[in-house]
């Protein structure tokens, strides 16, 4: 029973971790809490779903790739239209602006389509197999693999490439890296594009697990992912992995073990965790600054 909870929590945690990665990337790059991060996922899912189900009905894999492309494009667009004009404003203003993007995107989806639940087909079919009494499907395996692959790729990008180094440098000292020839505008675009790509990835992996509705990534994933990012440390990319997985497990335990007479066990656990981290260790488990 407890093993099942932990395994389920880890699987949800991969999605939290992916979204948290995007949040941390943007925070490192622009010192912004990006409330639109969940919407990158929802938009990717909607684009993939429309391309796959509406005639002419593209193959699933092509639809998924185009969904990812749409999410990335949205990230670049948000950076150009909203973030860059506001880059000199207080961070709280930018936060409200990204929340505006999220709400606008959700209600645009609601306006253009019905609020009904939709289904995105699973990769690898619906066959269930059991690992120590816990039911798994191929989609779960793909999720875990995706997180590992992305983790390794990001590690290599930031440690081995000049571009990755430029991103880290401009995150640490924008002016100094500008003076040493880094185009901070291009870095900003890159960061938002990458974050949106990760967000899109998270959405496309999450949606097939059950049904999806307009704004589902914002309403169900964004807040746990934020908690995960804070737990791991807002400035630490490995922290986002750890925090996301940790929050996945803890909130699953909360949902499973807090008695039903107290509704909202998951939210209570997250709230308590957030307060605990912020008051005891505001820089998070692996972060260097608050």
Partner 1 sequence: MATSTAEATAAVRRRPAAGGLAARGAVASVLVIVVLLIPVVLPSFRASQATRAVIFAIIGLSLNVLLGHLGQISLGHQAFVGMGAFASGLMVGKGIPFFLALPLAGVIGALAAAILGLVALRIRGLYLALVTLAFGFVAEESIFNVNALTRGGEGMPAPRPPGFLSDPAYMYLCLIVLAVVLLMDWRLVKTKGGRAIMAIRHDERVAATLGVNVTFYKLFAFMLSGFLAGIAGSLFAHWITNIATNDFVLDLALVWVFMTVVGGLGSRAGIVIAATFFALLPILLEAIFPLLQLLPFINADMQGRLPRIVPVIGALLLVLTLTLYPGGIGQQLLPIRRWLAGGPFRDPLKHGRKHASRPAKRRRRRGSPPTPAGDGAATTTPTEAIVDAPGPAEAASAVAEAARATRPTGDGGA
88 binds partner 1 (CB under 8 A): yes
Q: Does 108 bind partner 1 (CB under 8 A)?
A: yes
Which residues, 6 or more positions from 148, have their beta carbon under 8 angstroms from its beta carbon? none
What tokens were used for 83? 């973030």
Site string for partner 1, 38-77 (x = CB under 8 A): ----------------------------------------
Asked if 276 touches partner 1 (CB under 8 A), the answer is: no
Does 266 bind partner 1 (CB under 8 A)? Our answer is yes
- Helix or strand run (H / E) with residue 128: strand 128-131
Using CB under 8 A, which of the segments 117-125, 148-156, 185-193, 265-273 binds partner 1? Answer: 265-273
CB under 8 A: which stretch of 40-48, 64-72, 195-203, 259-267 binds partner 1?
259-267
Residues 148-177 binding partner 1 (CB under 8 A) are 174-175
Stretch that binds partner 1, among 55-63, 124-132, 160-168, 278-286 (CB under 8 A): 278-286
Q: How far is the CB of 181 from partner 1 (least distance, A)?
A: 16
Segment interacting with partner 1 (CB under 8 A) among 47-55, 64-72, 119-127, 274-282 = 274-282
Write the CA distances from 202 to 20, 119, 227, 269, 280, integer angstroms.
Answer: 10, 16, 16, 23, 30
Considering the rule CB under 8 A, would residue 91 count as an interface residue with partner 1?
Answer: yes
For residue 262, give the DSSP letter: S
Token code pair at residue 101? 């993007």
> H or E segment at 129?
strand 128-131
b/e sequence 215-242, b meaning 16+ C-beta within 10 Å: bbbbebbbbbbbbbbbbbbbbbbbbbbb
């Amino acid at each position: 029973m407890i093993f099942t909870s932990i395994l389920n929590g880890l699987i949800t945690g991969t999605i939290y971790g992916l979204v948290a990665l995007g949040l941390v990337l943007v925070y490192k790059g622009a010192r912004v809490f990006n409330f639109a991060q969940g919407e990158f996922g929802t938009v990717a899912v909607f684009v993939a779903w429309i391309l796959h189900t509406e005639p002419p009905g593209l193959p699933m894999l092509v639809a998924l790739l185009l969904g990812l492309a749409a999410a990335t494009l949205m990230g670049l667009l948000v950076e150009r239209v909203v973030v860059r004009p506001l880059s000199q404003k207080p961070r709280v203003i930018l936060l409200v602006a990204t929340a505006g993007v999220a709400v606008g995107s959700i209600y645009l989806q609601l306006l253009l389509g019905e609020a009904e639940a939709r289904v995105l087909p699973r990769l690898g079919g619906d066959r269930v197999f059991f690992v120590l009494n816990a039911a798994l499907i191929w989609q779960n395996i793909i999720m875990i693999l995706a997180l590992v692959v992305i983790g390794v790729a990001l590690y290599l990008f930031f440690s081995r490439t000049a571009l990755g180094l430029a991103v880290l440098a401009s995150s640490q000292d924008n002016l100094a890296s500008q003076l040493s020839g880094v185009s901070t505008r291009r870095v900003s675009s890159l960061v938002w594009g990458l974050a949106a790509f990760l967000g899109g990835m998270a959405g496309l992996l999450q949606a097939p697990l059950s049904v999806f509705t307009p704004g589902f990534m914002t309403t169900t994933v964004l807040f746990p992912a934020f908690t995960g990012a804070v737990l791991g440390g807002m400035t630490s990319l490995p922290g986002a992995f750890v925090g996301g997985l940790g929050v996945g497990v803890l909130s699953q335990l909360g949902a499973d073990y807090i008695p039903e007479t107290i509704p909202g066990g998951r939210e209570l656990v997250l709230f308590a965790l957030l307060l605990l981290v912020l008051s005891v260790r505001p820089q998070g488990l692996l972060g260097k600054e608050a």
